[in-house]
Amino acid sequence: RLALDDRAIRPIFAAHWIKLCVAACAESRALPPGPARRLPLLACVRFFAGPIQERSLRATVHEAIRFVVEGKVPKTMT
């Protein structure tokens, strides 16, 4: 349910969330019965409960290059 709560705005993020849910369920089923079987699912819930940062790697790299080459401080650091 957390993956479908519309917290991820960009489609690629929603797709990653769904893939993470599927993987956590598969890992959980692959483990032997016992308390450890819940760990992949709990990790998935913990990830979804955290803050979302939808920022492209391209923008981050561009800002880093401008900071190093031109000395321009990114707005996120001011």
The one-digit pLDDT tens for each residue of the chain (78 residues) are 665 666 666 777 788 888 999 999 999 999 999 999 999 999 998 988 887 766 667 777 888 888 899 888 877 654
The number of C-alpha atoms within 13 Å of 60 and in the hemisphere containing its C-beta is: 5
Task: Tell me what pLDDT residue 26 has.
Answer: 97
Task: Tell me what pLDDT residue 17 has.
Answer: 85
CB-based contacts of 38: which residues, under 8 Å, 6+ apart? 28
Note whether 54 and 13 are within 8 A (CB): yes
Q: What does pTM read for this prediction?
A: 0.59
Residue (of 52, 66, 42) closest to 16 by Cα position: 52
- Structure token digits, residue 15: 């797709």
The ranges assigned to domains in the chain are 2-77
The number of C-alpha atoms within 13 Å of 17 and in the hemisphere containing its C-beta is: 23
